[in-house]
Amino acid sequence: MTGTPGSAGLRRLEIAGPRFPGWLERLVADHPGAQVLVDGPLTRVDWPGGSAVCEAFGHDPLAVLLVRRGGYAVGLAHGDALVAAKTGRRHVQGRTAAGGWSQQRFARRREGQADALVEAVAGHALRILVREPRAGGRDRAGVGGIPAGLVLAGDRRLAAAVLAEPGLQALRELSRRELYDLPDPDARVLATAVQRARAVRVAIDDPHGPDPVRWR
């Protein structure tokens, strides 16, 4: 379980899916008169003076796409297991404080490196998540099957650029969970992305209530 503070009185948590029923039971028990409403992936709990909105992301298989200036990770997960993955490093130069001609030259180089990164990641996404070439010119569904949801992480602009590449329309249409606070992608971070995507997101609004971590 992880938790981060929000606005005044608002707490945000991520609770592992298997632990959520027990967590919800303890939350309700701690607030007499609490009412629970379940609507698909959303569970809302209301009590005098507070409320909690819980959102599950139960899509399976999951496409996972992480891209930053320093590298990338693409994976397909069934449940908690990655059935196909590709990680790699690609250098994209940082911004420079130099001016004039030097700044323009660095900007062009940086743009070219970013374009190369986007193209490479899109290629891996096409192969792993969308389709795989087959002899005779026909394509079949990606290595582990057609994804039902998408986890997007890393640099917002680069991730959006990857999804905009030709052939990835199927990914653009998927339900999405975004994790832009993850660090530079590697195999470990990719596994973390899958775990967090499977978690239930909870927003608790109770300015006078106890620390919600107590319900774990």
pLDDT tens readout for residues 47-97: 998 999 999 999 999 999 999 887 899 999 999 999 999 999 865 545 444
- Domain harbouring 140, CATH code: 3.30.420.60
What are the angstrom distances between the C-alpha of 57 and each of 97, 176, 194, 196? 42, 9, 11, 10
pLDDT of residue 106: 41
Q: What is the pLDDT of residue 194?
A: 95
For residue 60 the two structure tokens come to 């399976």
H or E stretch including 131? strand 131-133
pLDDT cut 90: percent of the chain above it: 60
pTM for this one?
Answer: 0.78
Q: Cβ distance 147 to 197 under 8 Å? A: no
- Domain extent at residue 211: 2-57+199-215
Asked whether residue 35 falls in the same domain as residue 86, the answer is no
Q: 108: which 2 tokens?
A: 């062009």
Q: Tell whether 211 and 156 lie within a shared domain.
A: no
Residues 89 and 52 in one domain: no
Does 52 lie in the same domain as 100?
A: no
Task: Check if the beta carbon of residue 53 is closer than 8 Å to that of residue 41.
Answer: no
Same domain, 184 and 80: yes
Torsions phi, psi for 183 (to 5 deg): -75, -170
If asked whether residues 133 and 159 sit together in one domain, one would say: yes
pLDDT value at residue 70: 79
Secondary structure of residue 199 in the 3-state scheme:
coil
pLDDT of residue 59: 94
- Specify the 3-state DSSP secondary structure of 39: strand
Under-50 pLDDT residues of the chain: 93, 95-102, 105-110, 133-144
C-alpha triplet 152, 18, 197: angle, nearest 5°: 0
Number of domains within the chain: 2
Cβ atoms of residues 51 and 206 within 8 Å: yes
Shared domain for 53 and 67, answered yes or no, is no
- Whether residues 46 and 144 share a domain: the answer is no
Q: Does 18 share its domain with 96?
A: no
209 and 174 both lie in a single domain: no
Clarify whether residues 35 and 81 are in a common domain. no
* pLDDT for position 117: 87
The pLDDT score that the predictor gives to residue 171 is 93
The answer to whether residues 74 and 47 belong to one domain is no
Q: Which residues contact 182 (CB under 8 A, 6 or more apart)?
A: 66, 153, 154, 189, 192, 193
